Structure 1
Amino acid sequence: MVNDRRKNHIPFRLNVLFFGVFILFSVLILRLGYIQIVEGESYDLMLSQQEEQTANVDAPRGLMIDRYDNVVVDNDLQLSLTYTNTPRNDLERYEIAHQLVDYLNIEDEQIESVNAREWKDYYLYKGSMEEDGPISTHVSSLTTDQEANELDDDEFYQLQLNRLDEEEIADSFAYEEQQAVVIWAEMLSGYNYSPNRIARNLSEEEAHRLGEVLHDMPGTDILRDSERIYPYGNSFRRLFGGTGSIPAEQLDGYVGRGYERSDTVGTSFLESQYENVLRGEKAVMRTDAEGNVTTDPGRRGNDLILTIDMALQQEVEEIINQEMTGSFIADREAYVIMMEPNTGEILTIAGYEGENLGATTSTFEMGSTVKMATMLAGYHHGVVDHGTVVRDAPITIPSSPTIRSWQTMGYINDIDAIRRSSNIYMTEIAMRLADYNMSTNSWGALSESYQALRDHYRQFGLGTETGIDLPSESTGLIGNNQQGEVLFLSFGQYDTYTPMQLAQYTATMANGGKRMKPQLVREIREPSNGEENSGAIVRQSQPEVLNTVDNTDADFERMQTAMRQVISVGGQGGGTANSYFNSATYEAAGKTGTAQIMTNGMNGNNQSFVGYAPFDDPEVAIAVVVPNVALERAGGRQGIANHIARESLQAYFDLQEDRSNPEQEEDEEEIYGDPEA
């Protein structure tokens, strides 16, 4: 009986114990819920105030310096106003934006750049601040109470945005408040705890006035900043590239590499190609709970030592601009590329009025300049040999225009064909490669002939990537293998190539068959300590042979002799460029080229020239392309590219004898202009 009473007490005690534990857990859960829900924001604020905060400050980008130690892309130190967002600082941001209107010069263009969403966000925020004003009344009228009850906060806000009229909003504000919206939008674009630039390139007066009142505007500061400048104006400007915000389509990739969304990056050409080199190491600012600030200094990005000769670049640009005067150029294009044939180092990429982007992206039929490659293909495949004689006379095949040289030359050998620029000799090579029977108009190996020529051309860089250290290179346009078109391909009037491909081909001819990778960057150096070019070498580029052409040394010597005769042999049956170079102070080898085209409804041509000098020990190779020459306007003028080539080579040798510094640009708008413009 006693044991039964004891057994009854045990379940009762356990129930009491479980009930007590339940009560304790309920109290604990309620307390945690109260802290999390009711007091969560205040504790978050206390924590954020007690924690150490860090902010990154951009470092200047590395410089670009030409081969003779001239700084061609520099940084200009400037002052920027920054604002650092913190959680729940909406009212502070609003008030500071209105204060700053009195200290910053806000242009009308900046007001016009405010987007619709920013106008609406500002309008709704201002309406939420008013207790009983016209904006708050309008905002409250955008929705009904019933709609508000049925939507969550995000849906309710989106509905308000959708019902606002952007133009009505902007016009409802006075001019001064429109200026405040510009500043407010810039402030809002930043990230928490990270200084965001809301005004750049402050004048000394603006910075001084702001410095006196920054203590009344929490989160604001004046930061020493930098902007890209170009001491030589537009010379080579476009290929230096531009900097700007991270493109939206590349954002994930950059963030994955440790970039912040608001970072400035290289967006095109050299700035983009060498982004990892030019980017500096950010300074880190740490603020402890007591407000003490410590800074880990950043580091400027590494410098690029370019292969470019800026003095030569300026000389060649001036030569092009002078030669291109008049109205005979339909599209106003001209390109000159000069490079060292044995290293691939590029000395200049020049264009009309500084426009040189097309040197790697635009393609043209290059005419007779490709004839040495055709001849070398003929040697390689055994359809012609050194000294092979062909009769130059017009050829007509069914369903094709009559093919002729610029003059009927009679019996000529391979050197004659280059010196005098015979289309018929090249046509004969193509017909032999295609096993063409003229009497039956049958092609025994048409596809093989296309393949044979194009494969050989690619060994020179024609129709393939050159490997230049720039993004977005074109490989040219390859025509369809239509019957008979291989004949036009053989003398440069079918496939199209870029001026850079033509330059690589020329250098390969000059050095005897080694296709060199074109290079724009010689060295990468650590930032200098104030002395010119004193930074340690991080990386030094070495000449890179991409491939060696499948021809013998004797084959190349044969073609080099022919190229020399193009320039050196005068009189009847002389070289096609002799009259242009007979007064030159240097010995050059070269080849002229024209491709017949229609331009703007007029007869025209693409004019080109390839060459190198000195003939016995080549230092420089040159390719000149002047497309879309309208002959009816030019009065039949044919030698534009030849003139440009002669004067550009003369400028090179003059600078070797008497080196002069390039001329800096004095026009401030040119120095600080947008490199993408």
Structure 2
Amino acid sequence: MSYFRKNSGTGNGSQTANTPLRMKILVGIIVILFAALIGQLAYLQLFYGSRFSAEVNATDQTTVTKAVPRGVMYDSQGRILVGNKAENAITYTRSLSATSKEMYQVANILSNYIKITDEKPTKRQIADYYLADSNRAKKVLSALPKSQKKSSLTTSEINEYEVAYVENTIKPTLSTKQKTAALLYNKMSGASTLSTINLKSSGLSNKEIAQVGEHLSSMPGVGIGTDWNRYYPNGSSIKSIIGSVSTTKTGLPSDNLQYYLVNGYSRNDRVGTSYLEKEYEALLKGTKASYKVTSNTSSNTVTKTKQVYKGQSGASLKLTIDAKYQAEVTKALKQQFNSALSAGAASLSSGAYAVAMNPQTGAVLAMAGISYDPSTKKVSDNALGNINQSFVMGSVVKGAQVAGGLINKVITPTNNTLPDTAIYLPGTSVKKSVYPVGTFSSLTAASALEVSSNIYMMQLTLRWVKASYVAKKYIHMPQTAFQTLRNNFKMFGLGQKTGIDLPGESSGIEGSSTDSSGNILAGSVLDESYGNYDAYTPIQLVQYVSTIANGGYRMQPYVVQSIGRTSSDGKHFYTYYNKKPTVQFKIPWTTSELAVIKQGFYQVVHGTNSWGTAHALKNVKPSISAKTGTAQTFYYNTKTGKSTDTELINETMVGWASSNNPQIAFAIVFAGIDPDLEGSYNKNMAKAMVTSYYKLHKGKFSSTK
């Protein structure tokens, strides 16, 4: 018998009854959460509302700088050597909200009114300009393979693919106006936010200014301002000393970019790139004006501009060089060199150089130079050749050689006669002077200087270094012979940098001291003794002769006399710093030993020996004391980089005036003169340098002997 229990259905009824309760619980939870949210919002509004409002209207502060005029350079008499010439400029200030599209449009509009003809856009600039058109950019992007536009690539990486596609596949050809627009777009897009740059300043016509001015409202950011360029009111012959300044186009030198950026420069700032402009860049550049610009971050608008610092123009330099005297020396040098060219004497020359210095202070009075290229026959100014070109100078250094003999007691003021017997080395030709062997049986030191005796200097050297010598049989020089002579020359500044305040100075060139086996070159030691071996610079020569002229003080040459500030009206110069003469070394000679050398230099011009080398200058007023020189050299082919067998001479001269009151010392070099056409170019130049200097300073100095 089976029993079955009937389902009463109480389970389903209970579930149905519980449903409204669960819904009520959920609704309650939701109500509580909404209430909490509303409460939180109310709390934030009441207690933090102002803070959030401030953040929404937050501002950003940016410091913007503005360039100031570069320092001026004056000559010793206060004449402007290089100044700043204001010029009109079309400017662009990049706003906070400036987009590539806007700059592209502005560049296209502006290209209707101005032309840029001194620049050509690069392939990259053309591509960037091409892609600035959004329609063209879309087409280029769609043409790229998928691998070059996948989402994992950065925007800049994709852009590089786009540029490459434009450069290599499309290769757009631009009209003249579009090329200008491409350059303008490149300049605009390269500008920093809120910075002002020059779009065009050089060669801007009145018509261009007028047309741009009429349409400024259609070109956001474009304006009309001023720019400056360096100018040289007293001639550009001194420009190679002053140096150059970069343009806004070239901006900062790429080889030292990080240095300038770290020191607060902008990429398009102008900086000194050579010589004085570079050497004194930190002073000449001045301090930029500084403005604090406040902008609203939500609207990208400038709300306030406040000047923090008005800026300070660059410091000005007063040089030791007299512009008028510089012009006279340059003119005379060109006249003499052209005369040598006309005579055929300088057809293979590398140029000519002349430098004048105050022997009492080291102040450079004038520095002129000419570079000549025999292959192109091009003549160019190269005043800096006086500090960076080295030449074998010849007999002009004999004053230092005699001084060494006196200081080391090889000869004395009362006993300095040596036999004028030529030197015969085994297996070589005779080593002698210009005049015939046997012309003199013996010579004093002063007479040897007057007739420029090579023999005297060699005989002095044999005794000085204690060499063993038998004519035509053998010669033995101690290993220290070269160093003995060179140490003596260096006391006078020959063979080492003078320390002049110009970059790029050369120390000269030392010839080899030994052969491949390590044996001293005995014959070359003798050549060294009369200036026919090592090479020196003209600035070293003038320092050397100044040391004799002033009594034995080796003065450091310099070209910047003082540093100061130019008044706003440009009429006054206020000095901050004044250069004091610097003595680098005092020659350890006695007064009587110095007198021997000075007498020799005086006799070179005023002596009576028929073999005297500069008697043609004896009537020049004021009196000149000097030493001439010729040195054997060979033609150096700059194209092949090799010397040839063509023999030439360097025609040189050093001296001072007046003889008993030295106010000017000079050094002159005519390099690579044909020995068969040797002239008086060095002596003519010396006369011009002395007479023009005293003419400009008439009555300032007394000059007798």
The answer, yes or no, to whether TM exceeds 0.5 is: yes
Deviation at 1:399, TM superposition (A): 5.0
Q: What are the residue-to-residue correspondences of 1:568-587 with 2, within 5 Å?
A: 568-573=606-611, 575-579=612-616, 581-587=617-623
Q: Does 1:175 align with 2:176?
A: yes
Q: Which residue of 1 aligns with 2:315?
A: 302
- Preserved contact between residue 79 and residue 200 of structure 1 (Cα < 8 Å): yes
Q: Which residue of 2 aligns with 1:122?
A: 129
Q: What are the residue-to-residue correspondences of 1:186-585 with 2, within 5 Å?
A: 186-201=187-202, 202-244=204-246, 245-289=251-295, 291-295=303-307, 296-325=309-338, 326=342, 327-329=344-346, 330-352=348-370, 354-386=381-413, 387-407=415-435, 408=437, 409-439=440-470, 441-445=474-478, 447-482=479-514, 483-484=521-522, 485-530=524-569, 532=571, 534-573=572-611, 575-579=612-616, 581-585=617-621
Deviation at 1:284, TM superposition (A): 2.8
Deviates more, 1:148-157 or 1:87-96: 148-157
- Sort the Cα spacing of 1:593 and 1:145 in 2 relative to 1 into closer, same or farther, 3 A: closer
Corresponding residue SS for 1:192:
coil
How many Å separate the matches in 2 of 1:374 and 1:168? 73
- Preserved contact between residue 668 and residue 686 of structure 2 (Cα < 8 Å): yes
Q: Which residue of 2 aligns with 1:31?
A: none
Q: Give a deviation string over 1:307-340, Cα, whole Å, max 9, x none.
A: 0011111111111111112142123511111111
Choose 1 or 2 for highest CA Rg.
2
How many Å separate the matches in 2 of 1:209 and 1:181? 20
Q: Give a deviation string over 1:507-551, Cα, whole Å, max 9, x none.
A: 11110110111111111111223263x232110111110111232
Deviation at 1:136, TM superposition (A): 4.3
Q: Which residue of 2 aligns with 1:12?
A: none
- Sort the Cα spacing of 1:214 and 1:276 in 2 relative to 1 into closer, same or farther, 3 A: same
Deviation at 1:170, TM superposition (A): 4.1
Corresponding residue SS for 1:300:
coil
- Preserved contact between residue 424 and residue 430 of structure 2 (Cα < 8 Å): yes
Deviation at 1:287, TM superposition (A): 4.0
Deviation at 1:155, TM superposition (A): 2.9
Q: Give a deviation string over 1:88-127, Cα, whole Å, max 9, x none.
A: 62111111110110121221x422xx2232222223333x
Q: Which residue of 1 aligns with 2:685?
A: 644
- Preserved contact between residue 116 and residue 166 of structure 1 (Cα < 8 Å): no
Corresponding residue SS for 1:641:
helix
Letter in structure 1 aligned against 2:391: F
Bigger proportion of residues as helix:
1
- Of 89, 93, 111 in structure 1, the residue corresponding to residue 99 of structure 2 is 89
- Preserved contact between residue 166 and residue 172 of structure 2 (Cα < 8 Å): no
Deviates more, 1:641-650 or 1:285-294: 285-294
Deviation at 1:357, TM superposition (A): 1.9
- Sort the Cα spacing of 1:641 and 1:44 in 2 relative to 1 into closer, same or farther, 3 A: farther
Corresponding residue SS for 1:537:
strand
Q: Does 1:618 align with 2:665?
A: no
What TM-score does the superposition give when structure 2 sets the normalisation length?
A: 0.81
Q: Which residue of 2 aligns with 1:58?
A: 67
How many Å separate the matches in 2 of 1:236 and 1:397? 48
Q: Give a deviation string over 1:463-522, Cα, whole Å, max 9, x none.
A: 111111101110001112132211111111111011111111111111011011111111
Deviates more, 1:460-469 or 1:188-197: 188-197
Q: Which residue of 2 aligns with 1:598?
A: 634
Deviation at 1:638, TM superposition (A): 3.3
Deviates more, 1:395-404 or 1:222-231: 395-404
Corresponding residue SS for 1:222:
strand
Q: What are the residue-to-residue correspondences of 1:156-171 with 2, within 5 Å?
A: 156-165=158-167, 169-171=171-173
Corresponding residue SS for 1:78:
strand
Letter in structure 2 aligned against 1:394: A
Q: Which residue of 2 aligns with 1:662?
A: none
How many Å separate the matches in 1 of 2:554 and 2:513? 26
How many Å separate the matches in 2 of 1:390 and 1:378? 12
- Of 155, 167, 180 in structure 1, the residue corresponding to residue 157 of structure 2 is 155
- Preserved contact between residue 112 and residue 177 of structure 2 (Cα < 8 Å): no
Deviates more, 1:258-267 or 1:413-422: 258-267
How many Å separate the matches in 2 of 1:467 and 1:45? 62
How many Å separate the matches in 2 of 1:89 and 1:398? 85
- Preserved contact between residue 148 and residue 161 of structure 2 (Cα < 8 Å): no
How many Å separate the matches in 1 of 2:148 and 2:88? 52
Q: Give a deviation string over 1:418-461, Cα, whole Å, max 9, x none.
A: 1110111111222223322123625252x322111111111111
Q: Which residue of 1 aligns with 2:697?
A: 656
Q: Give a deviation string over 1:608-641, Cα, whole Å, max 9, x none.
A: 1000011111010010111111235xxx223211
Q: Which runs of 5+ in 1 are unaligned?
A: 1-15, 29-42, 660-677
How many Å separate the matches in 1 of 2:588 and 2:97? 68
Deviation at 1:184, TM superposition (A): 1.0
Corresponding residue SS for 2:132:
helix
Deviation at 1:644, TM superposition (A): 0.7
Letter in structure 2 aligned against 1:331: S
How many Å separate the matches in 1 of 2:148 and 2:576? 68
Q: Which residue of 2 aligns with 1:6?
A: none
How many Å separate the matches in 2 of 1:525 and 1:288? 36
- Preserved contact between residue 90 and residue 222 of structure 2 (Cα < 8 Å): yes
How many Å separate the matches in 2 of 1:517 and 1:44? 64
Deviation at 1:87, TM superposition (A): 5.8
Matched length:
605
Q: Give a deviation string over 1:199-245, Cα, whole Å, max 9, x none.
A: 11433433333223223322222222211101122221111111113
Deviation at 1:393, TM superposition (A): 3.1
Letter in structure 2 aligned against 1:328: A
Deviates more, 1:315-324 or 1:197-206: 197-206
Corresponding residue SS for 2:181:
helix
- Preserved contact between residue 56 and residue 195 of structure 1 (Cα < 8 Å): no
Letter in structure 2 aligned against 1:558: V
- Sort the Cα spacing of 1:238 and 1:146 in 2 relative to 1 into closer, same or farther, 3 A: closer
How many Å separate the matches in 1 of 2:55 and 2:694? 71
RMSD: 2.6
- Of 625, 640, 661 in structure 2, the residue corresponding to residue 589 of structure 1 is 625
Deviates more, 1:366-375 or 1:423-432: 423-432
- Preserved contact between residue 115 and residue 177 of structure 2 (Cα < 8 Å): no
- Preserved contact between residue 618 and residue 624 of structure 2 (Cα < 8 Å): no
Letter in structure 2 aligned against 1:418: L
Percent identity of equivalent pairs = 29
Q: Which residue of 2 aligns with 1:664?
A: none
What TM-score does the superposition give when structure 1 sets the normalisation length?
A: 0.84
Letter in structure 2 aligned against 1:320: L
How many Å separate the matches in 1 of 2:575 and 2:280? 16
Q: Which residue of 1 aligns with 2:113?
A: 103
- Sort the Cα spacing of 1:105 and 1:432 in 2 relative to 1 into closer, same or farther, 3 A: same
Q: Which residue of 2 aligns with 1:33?
A: none
- Sort the Cα spacing of 1:527 and 1:167 in 2 relative to 1 into closer, same or farther, 3 A: farther
